Structure 1
Amino acid sequence: MSVQKRIFMCGIATETHDFNKYPTTLEAFTDKGLYFVQEGESLERFREGDLWFGGYLEVADSEGWQLVTGVCAFAWPWGSVTEHAFETLWARIERQLRDEAPFDGILLPLHGGMACEHLDDPVGEFVARIRRIVGRRVPIAASLDLHSNLSPQFVRDCDIICGFHTTPHIDVRQTAFRTAKLLARTLRGEIQPQCHSIHPPVLFGIDHGRTTVPHAPMFTLLKRAEVIQAEDPQLLDASFMPAYPFCDQPWTGTSAVLVMDGLSERVNDYLDEFGAEIWRTRDVLTIDIVSIDEALDAVEQTANDPRPFLLGDFTDGPYSGAYGDATAMLSALIERGTPGAVFGPLFDAEAVEQAHAGGVGAQIEVELGGKCDPRYGGGPVSGAAIVKALSDGKFIHKGPFMQGQPGDLGESALLEIGGVGVIVNPFPSQLHDREQLKLFGIRFEELNVLVSKSFNHMRADFEPPSRGLLYPDAGGVFSFNFSKFPFEKIRRPIWPLDDFEISPGDMDRC
């Protein structure tokens, strides 16, 4: 009779914007994040829906594993993680790793785009610490967001690395399933996984990982990987990381990661091919980034189409680490007198408190948004606002992104100011699911235009019924004008900050 395998699962995850001036604290992980799982906690609440844990549980059940739950914490994107936050969470993980050993394998639900006050490579350091405890013989398998910045240290210390294949991210559970299945095959002795990577000097590439049009660079890479897998069974998995560009650390940038079965004579050829393709397509974009005026012109020119127009206020997108309270787009909507417009969500706890105190129908004097850092996207919008609706902010995702998972905008309100509907809530967030709008009695299909503080995730649910999609650059902190940010630690030269050419043979690899 075989002995039950014991698998330890833990993770510290977030996406960090180093030029967001507000730090990510311990409370952002434990009280205000996407999830916080404690030692020994049941994962049953995550069994359904598109998160990492459902994929892990599916494999654990089929393999008969004992899945030992360690601390798993995911903070929403924000500024640099404090030393106190990282080390406090790590201390809990380390204690359990030592006290409850031995383990047969390690599963890591991570993001890969984290930056810390005190570490240049926190994701690599996290895995290195685990490796020092469990030794080289215990396989470590990590599931990552594709907006990861991976160091050679991280790649060396992992046996299995699997990244998302979609943006918007609608394969979170499937990525975890891929990861755990490879771990299961490893524990059965069927494979001997080894990770290899190439790191083209591109700050943000592969069209940001978008999989919304068939000609996207990500699809080209994934299809080529499928062809190679059909020809060479040693290629177990391939992941392509467009990076998260606002982490000011040495290994910020794109990468390709291959999981091979044992020693491979061809792996460097594959890395050369993928590195060359990432470099060749470094400037390809499948979205239209325009000025605010160009975006509103397009809304007006297509007004005869009854479907809503979708605008992404992406430079202030909280899920990209921005503040979520910039007002430049709102000011433009008011100035234009754009009818049937809804904007949000705007991070403004004071306005939410005013609205709930006044009640539906009340007129309140507000200073909306623009408080975090007015240099990026404008200061407060002043005026009289009417409270149109109030909500506790709780909903269940029904769109493809995070489908089935509970969501929470917090106590929130729909205000009308200058003829524009503005959803305000007490913390940075985004609109990406029609269920969020229904909280305020809004039907997306009946709008003229929705302006969401989102970059990619809104597309999964909002784009199909829309008449158009544009991304106005409204001057927020998530700007692709990278030259305005004071990078100090990233590798140089790096595109697009530097003008140079490079061949795959000269690219960093592991």
Structure 2
Amino acid sequence: MKNSILTTLLFSFLISTLAGKAQEKDLPRIAIAGIATESSTFSPALTAREAFRIRKGPEALDAYPFMVPDSMVRGRATWLPALVAATSPGGAVTREAYESLVQETLDSLKKNGPYDGLYFDIHGAMSVVGLDDPEGDLIARIREVVGTETLISTSMDLHGNVSWRLAKNTDLITCFRMAPHEDRYETKKRAIVNLLDRLESGQGKPAYKAWVPVPILLPGEKTSTRVEPAKSLYAKIPEVTKQSGIIDAAIWIGYAWADEPRNHAVVMVTGDDRIQVGEAAENLASSFWKVRSEFGFVAPVDSLTGSLNKALASKKRPFFISDSGDNPTAGGAGDVTWTLKKILERPEFKSKKGPSLIYASIPGPELFKLAKSAGLGQKVSGYVGAQIDARFAPPIKLDGTVEGIGEKAVVIRVGSVRVIVAHDRNRNTHFSDLGLDPLKTDIIVVKMGYLVPDLYNMRKDWIMALTPGGVDQDLHSLDYRRIQRPMFPFDKHQFEPDLKAKWIPASDEFVPSTYPR
């Protein structure tokens, strides 16, 4: 009897194990790869390899909150991440950094293939010294390793750029639908689920990819989905994707602070019904073009002097001012001292009894170290800023008192101004970590364009100061030489662009060398 029971249990165990292995074998094998950043070519800054956070192998899955081990998405495939690298926006990536990251990616992909699918996780606005369209270059080189049969799904920032080459070599593609990007992970998950669905159903590559370049180049601060017309424009997308013959639809604003031919808006729709895909792409592109003149700044704007005057006169607290021209979240160097210099010169802030103002922030590694060593309440003196971008003002010497010490930043009080001095430009310090209470502060100046959600919800009033820097909001003042023309808003004369759908060949379809690259 005991032998019979043991035999039965052993047989059940073997059947269960074999079934599990069979199920695992049937799961699609999916790679993950991508290099993501946003690069201003109008900034003197350069981005080296050390600036990237690099995740390899299973560690890369930690970048996606929806991919925890017991998640439904995680269990639908065997995941084989190669390399996922990302860094904060900044200047152009050095060629050495780019090539080293690409080579590591390709080496890893070669080791773990073959693949049924690949998730291509990029921003889409990376610039590399001496190389046009790095994302298009990267995906083309990945294709040489994984082959043309592998299904590739791409997710992007809506401020990215979609070149013909990128569109050709990807199969499924989508981008954020919100600016600020509160749907960041929702979008990444959508790209992965679209990939899984097409693999599991056996449908594979979409039959049609419609691509419509739209000759518009505008900054993100004029195209926020918080306000019209972008709010209604992007609201059209969910209805489009409900059509049975459409997989996904996306609108890219494009990235305004890089001077490359690919930098302009794009609409792209993928699916299996040619008529639905084509009409959807053309309708979205036409809708975009029709409202081109309605785009305006997401907040009131003024000169720095005008912005400070309005903040001082206002009774609403805290009053936020965006130091928009050196916004490091869009590609500015983050160390331009012009605005801080002007603030410290104002007589209103010379005394400790003046209006309270927080300036967030300026890098000053030496003063940061000195303040941490000196301690709270101590007097310190040192230079900050303008180590990368000194075109508009030199480094500033701060003579003040240490009022806050954090792991990555300190607070130096000069008169009634509390300057957050960071150890580098990539700071993520919260006000509370430094003992600051923004809700009890009169004016808060941030190196930012449109406010991120937590600051937006905190503000009682807000204005964008039009200040100089690598992401200057006055696009007409920038020295564009290579963008395609005519382009709105640079060319004021009336012109009617070709907004017909361009049919992008499938990634496994041979195209002659006369096609765009």
TM-score by length of 2: 0.85
**For 1:327, which of 324, 334, 337 is the aligned residue?**
337
Distance 1:145 1:108 in 2: 12
**For 1:198, which of 176, 189, 212 is the aligned residue?**
212
Q: How does 1:220-235 map to 2 (within 5 A)?
A: 220-230=232-242, 232-235=243-246
Q: Secondary structure at the match of 1:175?
A: helix
4+ aligned runs moved over 6 Å, structure 1: none
The alpha-carbon distance between structure 1 residues 508 and 356, as it changes in their structure 2 partners (threshold 3 A), is farther
Aligned to 1:94: 106
Q: Secondary structure at the match of 1:183?
A: helix
The alpha-carbon distance between structure 1 residues 445 and 196, as it changes in their structure 2 partners (threshold 3 A), is same
In the TM superposition, what whole-angstrom CA distance separates every residue of 1:392-435 from its partner, at most 9, and x where no partner exists? 1xxxxxxxxxxxxxxxxx3x21001132000011221467xxx7
The alpha-carbon distance between structure 1 residues 465 and 389, as it changes in their structure 2 partners (threshold 3 A), is closer
Aligned to 2:326: 316
Distance 2:221 2:247 in 1: 24
Aligned to 2:50: 27
**For 1:269, which of 267, 279, 283 is the aligned residue?**
279
**1:68 is matched by which residue type in structure 2?**
L
**For 1:219, which of 223, 231, 238 is the aligned residue?**
231
In the TM superposition, what whole-angstrom CA distance separates every residue of 1:325-375 from its partner, at most 9, and x where no partner exists? 223332333303261110011112122122123222221223332343232
Aligned to 2:435: 441
**1:483 is matched by which residue type in structure 2?**
H
Aligned to 1:379: 394
Distance 2:312 2:244 in 1: 54
Aligned to 1:355: 371
The Cα of 1:55 is off from its aligned counterpart by 8.6
The alpha-carbon distance between structure 1 residues 43 and 368, as it changes in their structure 2 partners (threshold 3 A), is closer
Moved more, 326-335 or 498-507: 498-507
Distance 2:176 2:245 in 1: 20
**For 1:364, which of 371, 376, 380 is the aligned residue?**
380
The Cα of 1:504 is off from its aligned counterpart by 4.7
Distance 2:420 2:322 in 1: 15
The alpha-carbon distance between structure 1 residues 450 and 54, as it changes in their structure 2 partners (threshold 3 A), is farther
The Cα of 1:115 is off from its aligned counterpart by 0.9
Q: How does 1:38-437 map to 2 (within 5 A)?
A: 38=56, 40-43=57-60, 45-46=62-63, 48=65, 54=67, 58=71, 60-63=73-76, 65-189=77-201, 191=203, 192-193=205-206, 194-204=208-218, 208-213=222-227, 216-230=228-242, 232-260=243-271, 262-283=272-293, 284-285=295-296, 286-303=298-315, 305=316, 307-334=317-344, 335=346, 336-337=348-349, 339-376=355-392, 378-392=393-407, 410=408, 412-429=409-426, 436-437=430-431
**2:213 is matched by which residue type in structure 1?**
H
The alpha-carbon distance between structure 1 residues 92 and 43, as it changes in their structure 2 partners (threshold 3 A), is closer
The alpha-carbon distance between structure 1 residues 55 and 242, as it changes in their structure 2 partners (threshold 3 A), is farther
Moved more, 116-125 or 494-503: 494-503
**2:132 is matched by which residue type in structure 1?**
D
Distance 2:267 2:64 in 1: 30
In the TM superposition, what whole-angstrom CA distance separates every residue of 1:451-477 from its partner, at most 9, and x where no partner exists? 111123x33001223211110012222
Greater share of helix residues, 1 or 2? 2
Distance 1:267 1:45 in 2: 35
Q: State the percentage of identical aligned residues.
A: 24
Distance 1:292 1:445 in 2: 22
The Cα of 1:190 is off from its aligned counterpart by 5.8
Aligned to 1:396: none
Q: Secondary structure at the match of 2:148?
A: coil
The alpha-carbon distance between structure 1 residues 207 and 439, as it changes in their structure 2 partners (threshold 3 A), is closer
Aligned to 2:7: none
The alpha-carbon distance between structure 1 residues 47 and 88, as it changes in their structure 2 partners (threshold 3 A), is closer
- Mapped contact 1:60–1:67 kept (Cα < 8 A): no
Q: Secondary structure at the match of 1:237?
A: strand
- Mapped contact 2:139–2:170 kept (Cα < 8 A): yes
Aligned to 1:395: none
**1:460 is matched by which residue type in structure 2?**
P
**For 1:482, which of 475, 480, 486 is the aligned residue?**
475
In the TM superposition, what whole-angstrom CA distance separates every residue of 1:86-109 from its partner, at most 9, and x where no partner exists? 111111111122222111100011
Distance 1:493 1:440 in 2: 49
Distance 1:252 1:492 in 2: 11
- Mapped contact 1:209–1:241 kept (Cα < 8 A): no
Distance 2:70 2:131 in 1: 32
Distance 2:419 2:36 in 1: 31
In the TM superposition, what whole-angstrom CA distance separates every residue of 1:175-194 from its partner, at most 9, and x where no partner exists? 11111111011102264424
Task: Point out where structure 2 has 5 or more consecutive residues left out of the alignment.
Answer: 1-21, 505-517
Aligned to 2:34: 11
Distance 2:83 2:222 in 1: 30
Aligned to 1:505: 498
Aligned to 1:403: none
The alpha-carbon distance between structure 1 residues 98 and 370, as it changes in their structure 2 partners (threshold 3 A), is closer
The Cα of 1:226 is off from its aligned counterpart by 2.5
Distance 2:362 2:325 in 1: 13
Distance 2:37 2:51 in 1: 10
Distance 2:79 2:32 in 1: 7
Distance 2:202 2:489 in 1: 43
Query: Once superposed, what is the RMSD of the aligned Cα atoms?
Result: 2.3
The Cα of 1:24 is off from its aligned counterpart by 1.2
The alpha-carbon distance between structure 1 residues 237 and 58, as it changes in their structure 2 partners (threshold 3 A), is farther
Distance 2:210 2:501 in 1: 11
**1:445 is matched by which residue type in structure 2?**
L
Alignment coverage as a number of residue pairs: 470
The alpha-carbon distance between structure 1 residues 206 and 248, as it changes in their structure 2 partners (threshold 3 A), is closer
In the TM superposition, what whole-angstrom CA distance separates every residue of 1:188-219 from its partner, at most 9, and x where no partner exists? 22644243221111122676541223xx2332
Looking at CA atoms only, which structure, 1 or 2, has the larger radius of gyration? 2
TM-score by length of 1: 0.86
- Mapped contact 1:430–1:452 kept (Cα < 8 A): no
